[in-house]
Structure 1
Amino acid sequence: MGVSTSRPDKGVALITVDFPPVNALPVQGWYELADAVRAAGRDPEIRCVVLAAEGRGFNAGVDIKELQRDPGHGSLIAVNRGCAEAFAAVYDCEVPVVAAVGGFCLGGGIGLVGNADAIVAAEDASFGLPELDRGALGAATHLARLVPPHLMRALYYTSRTATAAELHAHGSVWKVVPREELLSAALELAGEIAAKDGTLIRLAKAAINGIDPVDVRRSYRFEQGFTFEAALSGVADRVRDGFGRGGEDR
């Protein structure tokens, strides 16, 4: 359980997240993931990182139960910082990051894959931001990197999800494969990237980040300010408590 790193192929680091039962990460988990991605990117032998997960789904966002156990706002502040660190680590990784997504990719998972350089998805993958159903806001910055603006808004306001096939049609998913072929397909793409010159691939990553039209760090932190506003006003707790009881109060 936790975050582990292996080297399945030359020049490739495989970072695997495993927080049963649904990969809803606690505060420490987000920091562990950020540290693992940064360490892999700094390794001169690594030219591509694959981000994957064990279990039913890729990521279910933050551990809401951890937030509910805290009578104050300390856990909320900590997890928001942790998410910001993990998302930034993926975006700023010195080498390209390929996300291998199977099952659900929700909330914080969108922050991770939205900041990745490429996405390989299983046929059963689904992508969405159920934030409004959970008393939170955020990661519209990253969903906007996956789908067109009006679709992003509709998905955000309704908390609906998009399929891997739909994202492939929009060009944000590189390839859709059967679940049992997911990791091999992601490693195949990573291997092709890792075959490039190590210095040049790092320069390419820095150059492409430099021409992005949106500063993803600043944009996401702006969104998080509204999450704090929702928490301070009490609406976040009301919605989150309803979610914890199955949503009967929403």
Structure 2
Amino acid sequence: MVRAISTLIGFAFVGVLAIALFFTAKDAIQNPAPETAEHEFHLHPKDARLQSAGYFGTFDRQQVQRGFQVYKEVCAACHSLKYVSFRDLEEIGYSEAEVKAIATQWVIEQPSVNPETGEAATRKNVPSDRFPSPFANEVAARAANNNALPPDLSLMTKARHDGSNYVYSLVGPDAYRPQPAELLKKFPDAKTPNGLHYNPYFANLNIAMPPPLTADGQVTYADGTKATREQMARDVSAFLTWTAEPKLEKRHAAGFASVIFIAIFCFLAWGAYQNVWRDVKH
């Protein structure tokens, strides 16, 4: 009896779900969602062709260092890296002495307290410190950026779909452009508001951040690489890929080793099976 009741309840539940699915699909077909400018004119990110991409990707440390230089000279004025410590830079090829110098010379110092007076003060950064925020708090950040809050970039390439390519495309040389005449003709109300900038790689097409990479040579690379806007966009994308996944190479290596182990184990298991049952007639 209990089994029959349970079966009836199960059929009723499935029936309700089927009816709900039917009417939802019917409504979607009869009343399709209206077209939007975001849906029609939003562009998918371009391929940055980073060495870290793919199942066997590794970091090009020279490129990641160039990306750090772009972050330091262009992005750090507005965006924080609150989950990254100065000493982490040793993983991309900087020596201990270089990391110490970078930390000490960083423009923004760490908040502190004067032990003699108890008043707020600042101190020089040390390698164990995390990168300090360029603003004292969210209110100050919004006040300096037309009420827009610059996001932290530590995990940006993990927080966005196809993150590495997204960052590369968002700040690349063809990202900021005039609104297409076709968009304004089809969606007159979609005109970019004052204070925002049209960028087809951004989710709603209008972004508060002004173009960060405005000209070739904006950064002078220490290794002599020509700093075109496209090169700087690709390099900063590589750096932010590293900040989000500093253990990427180890993860790829561990995954590759695991696949090889499983393949060998399956072969040995198959051999053992054949050996144990070789005398058994079917």
TM-score (norm 1): 0.28
Determine which structure has greater relative contact order: mean sequence separation of CA pairs < 8 Å that are 6+ residues apart, divided by chain length. 2
Please identify which structure carries the higher strand content.
1
* Greater C-alpha Rg: 2
TM-score computed with the length of structure 2 as normaliser: 0.26
